[in-house]
């Protein structure tokens, strides 16, 4: 499986405000690039924090891109994947609206009645990990379901978790022309943070886009 993390951050490195409200950081060209990246992926993943904050749809906006997917035999939209250890995803969340297949990745601590409720809402539930989703195991299971290219859209807790497990192959970050500030505002990689063995990145691209910069890196598992 190839895992691409994509996010937009302010010039001061924040994904959103301290209120965790969704903020447009990307401009039109970057949103269009993100739409193409979704269209090129088998699945798009977020953490439950992003579902609760943004209620995202995670679908492909451009109808031509959806048509191109169906013409090559894929579903119109990539699958949606939510890491949600104890099932905090509301049953009326957009990721459960039926416009794409949705995988809910849960831990063994997820209440059985919640699992049944999510399955009734159309989600395909995969469990691994005692208290928290075991990302290595669930990504291997997703690969078994045919997910070869996984796009991760955030947020910072999930992105850190994936780096911690050495699961990221590529990182693209749009740095936009805004200062959000806030010591508690989410950043690209939150979690507990590294104090040693920092994942090493190889810069593969620097591109001016909208009024910001798109930075891309490959990740080969080395640490520094
Ligand atoms: N600018 C951008 O590109 C983006 C911005 N955002 C912003 O980010 C914010 C949300 O980010 P954040 O709060 O960090 O939430 P995340 O989307 O990263 O979700 C974090 C939650 O995922 C669950 N999770 C399950 N398993 C794991 C695991 N192994 N490792 C890490 N997390 C796991 C945890 O909840 P539990 O323990 O209950 O399972 C955790 O609290 C919002 O403000 C949103 O607007 C989000 C995406 C992109
Ligand atoms: N690429 C990008 N740029 C921004 O400026 C953003 N705020 C985000 N946010 C992400 O996009 C999701 C919304 O998706 P839908 O449009 O609802 O499908 C949101 O949840 C963040 O993951 N991304």
| Distance (Å, whole) CA 107 – CA 114 | 12
Query: Which atom of ligand 1 is least distant from the CA of 8?
Result: 3
**Going by DSSP bridges, is the β-strand pair 149-154/2-10 parallel, antiparallel, or unpaired?**
parallel
Q: Is residue 138 predicted with pLDDT exceeding 90?
A: yes
Residues 129-145, mean pLDDT to the nearest whole number: 98
Burial of residue 90, with CB atoms counted within 10 A of its CB: 0-12 exposed, 13-18 middle, 19 or more buried: middle
- Structural domains of the chain in order of their starting residue, each with its CATH number: 2-223 (3.40.430.10)
Give the predicted TM-score (pTM) of the model: 0.98
Q: Is 136 helix (H, G, I), strand (E, B) or coil?
A: helix
DSSP class per residue in 149-193: EEEEEE-HHHHHHHHHTT---EEEEEEES-----TTS-BSS-TT-
* Cα separations in angstroms, 144 against 138, 139, 140, 147: 10, 9, 6, 7
| Distance (Å, whole) CA 148 – CA 142 | 8
- State the pLDDT at residue 221: 85
- Report CA(134)–ligand 1 centroid distance (Å): 15
Residues 152-177, mean pLDDT to the nearest whole number: 97
Q: Is residue 61 predicted with pLDDT exceeding 90?
A: yes
Where residue 65 falls among pLDDT bands split at 50, 70, 90?
Answer: very high
pLDDT tens per residue, range 17-53? 999 999 999 999 999 999 999 999 999 999 999 999 9
- Report CA(218)–ligand 1 centroid distance (Å): 22
> Which of the ligands is closest to the CA of residue 178?
2
- Which residue has a Cα nearest atom 11 of ligand 1? 155
> Which of the ligands is closest to the CA of residue 132?
1
Q: Is residue 109 a contact partner of residue 130, using CB atoms and an 8 Å limit? A: yes
pLDDT tens per residue, range 2-17? 999 999 999 999 999 9
Query: Which atom of ligand 2 is least distant from the CA of 26?
Result: 5
135 lines ligand 1 (CB under 6 A): yes
Residues 109-116, mean pLDDT to the nearest whole number: 96
204 lines ligand 1 (CB under 6 A): no
pLDDT tens per residue, range 183-217? 999 999 999 999 999 999 999 999 999 999 999 99
Query: Which atom of ligand 1 is least distant from the CA of 6?
Result: 3
Ligand 2 site: residues with CB under 6 angstroms? 8, 22-26, 34, 46, 50, 54, 56-59, 153-154
């Amino acid at each position: 499986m190839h895992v691409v993390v994509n996010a937009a951050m302010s010039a001061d490195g924040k994904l959103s405000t301290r209120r965790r409200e969704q903020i447009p950081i990307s401009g039109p060209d970057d949103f269009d690039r993100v739409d193409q990246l979704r269209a090129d992926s088998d699945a798009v993943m977020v953490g439950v924090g992003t579902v609760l904050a943004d209620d995202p749809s995670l679908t492909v906006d451009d109808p031509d891109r959806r048509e191109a997917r169906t013409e090559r035999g894929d579903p119109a939209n990539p699958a949606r994947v939510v890491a949600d250890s104890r099932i905090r995803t509301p049953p009326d969340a957009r990721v459960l609206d039926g416009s794409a297949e949705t995988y809910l990745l849960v831990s063994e601590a997820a209440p059985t009645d919640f699992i049944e409720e999510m399955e009734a809402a159309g989600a395909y539930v995969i469990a691994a990990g005692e208290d928290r989703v075991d990302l290595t195991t669930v990504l291997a299971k997703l690969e078994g379901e045919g997910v070869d290219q996984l796009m991760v859209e955030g947020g910072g807790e999930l992105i850190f978790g994936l780096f911690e497990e050495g699961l990221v192959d590529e990182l693209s970050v749009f740095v936009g022309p805004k200062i959000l500030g806030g010591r508690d505002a989410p950043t690209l990689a939150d979690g507990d943070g590294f104090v040693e063995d920092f994942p090493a990145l190889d810069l593969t691209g620097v591109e001016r886009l909208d009024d910001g910069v798109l930075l891309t890196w490959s990740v080969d598992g080395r640490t520094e």
